[in-house]
Amino acid sequence: MAIVVVGGHTRNIGKTSVVAGLIAALPELQWTAFKITQFGHGICSANGEPCDCETDAHTVAVTEERCSTSGTDTSRFLAAGAVRCFWVRTRQGQLAEAMPRLRKELAASVNAIVESNSILRFIKPELYLTVLDPAIKDFKPSAQYVLDRADAVLWSGRNQSSDAGAKTEWPAVLLHLVQNKPQFFLESPSYSSDALTRFVAERISLCATSR
C-alpha cells in the first residue's frame, strides 16, 4: 500500500483538483481518499458550522462520503473514481485524536491519497506533493514546517513560461527549500498534467518493487 499526500501553502489553490485528477488518471491504484480539515475556535468539528460547544463529542468527526453528486470536495473524489472517501474534521491542533480511526482506514486501503499538510506529523508517505501559487501571499505555518519534505512542487494556475517563483512576497528561504525539487506547472481548471501522472505512477511503482 502506498500513501500519497497532497498539501499546499494555503486554501483555494487547487489541492482538491490535484487529488481528484490523480484519482481519475490512475484508477488502477484503487484509491481511498481522505480530506483532512482542522477548524478554528467557534467552528464545530462535527459539521463545520459555527458553534459555541466545547464538549469532547465535538472535537473530532470522521465520516465516509457516499454521494458522488453533492458537489463537496469529498464527493468530487468519489466522482473521480475513488473506491472509498473520508472527510476527517478536528479542532485546530487536535488531529492526533483522529489518528486511530485514520490509521485503521489507511491500513484497509489498497492505496491512499490524503489532502493535508498536518498528516505529515504522524505518517511518512511514499510521496508528498506540495501545491504552491505565488500569486497568493498567505503561507500557512503548517506548510512551511514540511516544505523541505516535498518530493515535488506543483505550481498552481501557472505554466512554465510564467516563471512561477519570480514574483512573490514569500521569504526567500521558502523558495530555496524547493528549488531542486521536480517541478510541475498546473493550469486551471484541471490542475493536472500527463507529466505529473507519470511521475506519481513511477514513484509508486518504484516503492512497490523496493519492498
State the residue for C-alpha cell 453528486: 69
Q: What is residue 112's predicted lDDT score, i.e. its pLDDT?
A: 98
Q: Is residue 190 very low, low, confident or very high in pLDDT (cuts 50, 70, 90)?
A: confident
Residue 162 structural domain: 3-210
pTM for this structure?
0.88
Q: Is residue 58 very low, low, confident or very high in pLDDT (cuts 50, 70, 90)?
A: low
Lowest mean pLDDT across 9-13, 122-126, 159-163: 159-163
Contact 39, 161 (CB under 8 A): no
Q: Provide the CATH number for the domain around residue 88.
A: 3.40.50.300
Greatest mean pLDDT among 44-48, 50-54, 126-130, 185-189 lies in 126-130
Collect all residues with Cβ–Cβ distance below 8 Å to 16 and sequence separation of at least 6: 35, 73, 76, 115
- Residue 35 sits at φ, ψ, to 5 deg, of -115, 125
Q: What is residue 130's predicted lDDT score, i.e. its pLDDT?
A: 97
Q: Diameter of the chain by CA atoms?
A: 51
Q: Is residue 166 very low, low, confident or very high in pLDDT (cuts 50, 70, 90)?
A: low
Q: Which residues of 61-76 are buried (b: 16+ CB within 10 A; e: fewer)?
A: bbeebeebeeebbbbb
Report the domain count for the chain. Answer: 1
Helix extents (H) in the chain: 15-25, 73-80, 99-107, 141-146, 172-178, 194-210
Q: Residue 92 pLDDT more than 90? A: no
Contact 61, 46 (CB under 8 A): yes
**What is the rounded CA–CA span in Å between residue 44 and residue 70?**
21
DSSP state of 80: H
Q: Residue 13 pLDDT more than 70? A: yes
Task: Single out the residue of 177, 174, 201, 197 nearest to residue 186, CA to CA.
Answer: 197
